[in-house]
Structure formats: C-alpha cells, structure tokens
Amino acid sequence: METAGTRTETALRRRRADVDRRRRGGCEQRTSHRPDTERRRLTQTLARVDVAHDRHLDRVHPRTK
C-alpha cells in the first residue's frame, strides 16, 4: 500500500474516468448541473424569441378577425 501521493492519484484516475464517461455519453454521475441550467436558459430564450416573432407577424401581417 503506497502512501505518497495516493490521494491525488486516485483523484486523477477518477477525473480521467469522468472524462471518458462524458465522452462516451454514459451515465451522468459526477457531472455538474450546468447542462441543465443551459437547457433552461435556451428554452427561455426560445420562448422570448417566439413571443417577439408573433408580435412582429401581427404587426406586419395583421390577422383577419
């Protein structure tokens, strides 16, 4: 059982395994929740663009009521 630098070695090994897993798109275990917030932000942006586009269409091509 080695004592010198064991902790950093295991951390490196774990990080390497994480990177491999992420590349393969396997189970999302030790990843941050950043992708989730990015998805939420994108959805909000798309909704905002949708509303603006509807407003623009109403202005340019008024719907016949």
Q: Where are the domains of the chain?
A: 1-28, 32-65
Res 48: pLDDT: 92
What is the rounded distance in angstroms from the CA atom of residue 63 to the CA atom of residue 65? Answer: 6
| Tens digit of pLDDT at every position of the chain (65 positions) | 555 567 777 787 878 877 776 666 655 555 555 677 888 888 899 999 999 999 999 999 887 65
Radius of gyration of the chain (CA): 24
Global pTM reads 0.38
Res 2: pLDDT: 53
Strands (E), 3-60: none
